Chains A and B, each alone.
Chain A
Amino acid sequence: MDFVNAIVLLLNYIFVPALAYGSQLALGAIFVTLIYGILRFANFATGDMMSFGTMFVILFTFYFQSVGISLGVLPTALLAIPFGIIFMVGYMLAIDKLVFKYYRTNKSPPVQLAMVSIGVMFVTQAVVRIIIGPSDRRFFDGEKFLIKAGEFKEMTGLNEGLAIKSTQVITIIVTLILVSTLFWFLNKTKTGKSMRAYSDNEDLALLSGIDPKKIVMITWVIAGILATIGGALYGLDKSFKPFTYFNNMLPIFAAAIVGGIGNPFGAFLGGYVIAFSEILLTYAYRKFFMYVLPESMEPDGLIQLLSTDYKFAVSFSILVIVLLYRPSGIFKGKVL
């Protein structure tokens, strides 16, 4: 029985939260990797673009709530996401036309595009803060828990409860659907294949009659969808605050590089690698060992490898180690 308790403990505090957080990171990381693979620059505006999309989802959610439309047990935000995506994609295409296109046609070095993306970052940040303000916003409604800790205890008779938030389940399901659609698109459709060809070798792709304008446009559309959904899921699960979104850029970059930048599947797994290592290394295992070990060997301390303050530092250290030993990431990067 103790052993089952220990497993439930780990599920509750490590596995489920890490899976949800990892999914959110994974969507962001695929966004980074797509931009890097096809448009060929590191997009430092990632976090702020995600907050831009989320902002529209929130505004529409508020609108629907005021009109009285809701999805019942599901959060209204799910209904608002498509509208958010429309605005987000429009914004992305506008930015591309106004800003990035010039440097792309001039074949500027990637570094210059990265600098330009910092300008976009500042502008996006200002727009988000001017429209919705810098404060913390919660826009979750509907049923909060799928399984409550108390109910679970009653149901199974265990000491440890397992609480699963509905946002966590929604996050994981939506991510799986979205990512599998994306991989199907990239691997099976003609447009997807031409995107991969373009990413692999631009000149060769142009020679075989692939229209670069179309590729770039589709990339921004997909990126907009990913950024909005990723941002909205993160906001639903935690809360929306522009500054947090800006900071999320860092673990997202870490996930993309760990997975091998330019490789969407790597980015997808990279998100989970980062999330799990962050939570595994900063979790206090005291209770776990209390269940597993006999009473005489019970530990005194918290058995925490690192204090939770170093959560971010963990993922960055992993990144540094990966960069040192395998600069192309766990899965070979730069092939879409």
Chain B
Amino acid sequence: MRKNLNVIAAYSIMMGLIILVGIFQSWNIALSIFNLCLISAVMTMGANIQWGYAGLINFGIMGFTALGGLAAVLISVNPVQEAWSAGGFNILFSLLLIIAMVLTVRYILKNYKKSKNRTYIVAAIIILGIVIIRFISEPGIEAIEGVDPAKTGFLGGLGLPIIFSWVVGAFFAGGLAFVIGKVALGLRADYLAIATLLISEIVIAIIKHEDWLTRGVKNVIGLKRPAPYEVNLQQTDWFISLVEKFNSSKLNLITDLTERQATLNQLVIEGSSVFVKLCYSGLFLVVVIILLILTQKALYSPWGRMMRAIRDNEEAANAMGKNVVKQHLLIFVLGSAIVGIAGAMLVTQDGLFTPGSYRPLRYTFLIWVMVIIGGSGNNFGAILGGFVVWFLWIEAAPIGLYLVNLITAELDDAHFLKVHLIESVPYFRFLMMGVGLLVIMRYRPKGILPEKIEIK
């Protein structure tokens, strides 16, 4: 108990802060911060597995998040029948061709010795394949995008409950990570960082511009929810009586019947959105706890020990007979898959998929700030980092406004400096993140909750 005191204290403070927001701003804001904190926590766990356990830098978090989001769309949206009949055949045929092309190239690479001729033949197959695939897919894509472009214009998904996408998102992200890992994991640490950063940009470019698959920048809105809708809740009897029960003391003070009804209606409307957010919180909390248990178990297992050995001294681990390349690939896939889950969760919560909103600053660098500030190598630290940083990211504007008002209290309200500073309050969050990261890296390089390895 004692040695975990700092963990408990840190989490209590964090919870206290969120509750304070609930009391002073509104419970709606507090819960939406809490939900995004939980999603960030899942992302940081993914990044922490890669960086904290194995020392791999993955700056491609944005790409994996977006793939998770794509999974949410492909799983939950109802299939668009006309689009399938218009161009489905061409797309499926192109898919088959791509698979055939990859298999042929693999076959050639495996069965023939390295030579100039082999390189030329492989290059010829790839170029020819791309030309043929474009030839076949283009009419299909045009036909699909032509189907009612204002509403659909894409193939749609499978029409399954969106919850499934959390698993599928993990598989999507893991699959991409497998390909990237095969290609890039041999690179040195900083090369790997740049390569993953750029590859994630490619992923986003594809998601943005392949309208037949993702609807691109036209966005997909109105995804199915795993939680009830506010409008429906407001008309269900048990929910109204629940709200009535909760606020009975407040309601009993009002004697006028019509006024009482009006207040109750207001409370039901507020309560419904809080209730929906609570449903999400519950779902997310389950994911976070399951992942936390699994990652903790992994960290203290022989496998976790091996990963740390590889991280701390690759050559020695290699000499002891550990397959460094294989383990790196494994952990890269696992970590990315967790990020994929978070991406699907994010889209589930928002109910919409906006490829244009994926920016490296928000989805890659901010997650890294979370991991570093929280404490890399320590799952509790990483999760705490997700909470602290997201909380600051949201609350930076109010805090910044308060600070600006404090500093410029002497100045006239119309003074140009004051007006300018108040206008630029939203950017104080960048400043806070940067300074926070620099201070932590300098004075507490292992994060708020440093890695602690117990040897039993």
Contacts and interface: CB of A to CB of B under 8 A. Distances in A.
Interface of A: 41-42, 44, 99, 102, 109-112, 114-116, 118-127, 129-130, 133-134, 246, 250, 253-254, 257, 307, 309-310, 312-313, 316-317, 319-320, 323-324, 327
A111 B55 CA distance: 10
Contacts of A102: 442
Interface string B412-434: 00000000010110011111011
A257 B194 contact: yes
A42 B435 CA distance: 19
A99 B183 CA distance: 34
Contacts of A118: 365, 368-369, 437
Nearest to A43: B190
Q: Is the interface of A mostly helix, strand, loop or mixed?
A: helix
Contacts of A133: 423-424
Interface string B180-200: 000110110111011101110
Contact of B438 (A44, A123, A250, A313): A123
Interface stretch (B24-32, B201-209, B233-241, B269-277): B201-209
Nearest to A327: B187
Contacts of B197: 250, 253
B372 interface: yes
20 contacts: A42-B190, A42-B193, A109-B189, A110-B189, A116-B441, A119-B433, A123-B430, A125-B427, A125-B430, A125-B434, A130-B421, A130-B424, A130-B427, A134-B427, A253-B197, A310-B209, A316-B199, A320-B198, A320-B199, A323-B191
B61 to A, nearest CB: 13
Contacts of B438: 99, 116, 119-120, 123
Interface of B: 57, 183-184, 186-187, 189-191, 193-195, 197-199, 201-202, 205-206, 208-209, 361, 365, 368-369, 372, 421, 423-424, 427-431, 433-435, 437-438, 441-442, 445
Given A119-B369, A119-B435, 15 more contacts: A41-B190, A110-B190, A111-B189, A115-B368, A115-B437, A116-B441, A124-B434, A125-B361, A129-B427, A130-B427, A130-B428, A133-B424, A253-B194, A327-B186, A327-B191
A122 B187 contact: no
Contacts of A125: 361, 427, 430, 434
Contacts of B372: 115
Nearest to A307: B209
Contacts of A324: 183
B396 to A, nearest CB: 10
Contacts of B434: 119-126
A115 B434 CA distance: 11
A134 to B, nearest CB: 7
Contacts of B365: 44, 118, 121-122
Contacts, number: 121
Contact of B190 (A111, A130, A246, A327): A111
A99 B429 CA distance: 20
A317 B183 CA distance: 12
Nearest to A324: B183
Contacts of B189: 109-111
A317 B423 CA distance: 40
A79 B440 CA distance: 41
Nearest to A242: B427
Contacts of A253: 194, 197-198
B424 A319 contact: no
Given A312-B205, A317-B202, A119 B183 contact: no
Nearest to B203: A313
A126 B198 contact: no
Contact of A119 (B187, B437, B445): B437
A320 B183 contact: yes
Nearest to A310: B205
A122 to B, nearest CB: 3
A127 B435 CA distance: 12
A275 to B, nearest CB: 16
B422 to A, nearest CB: 11
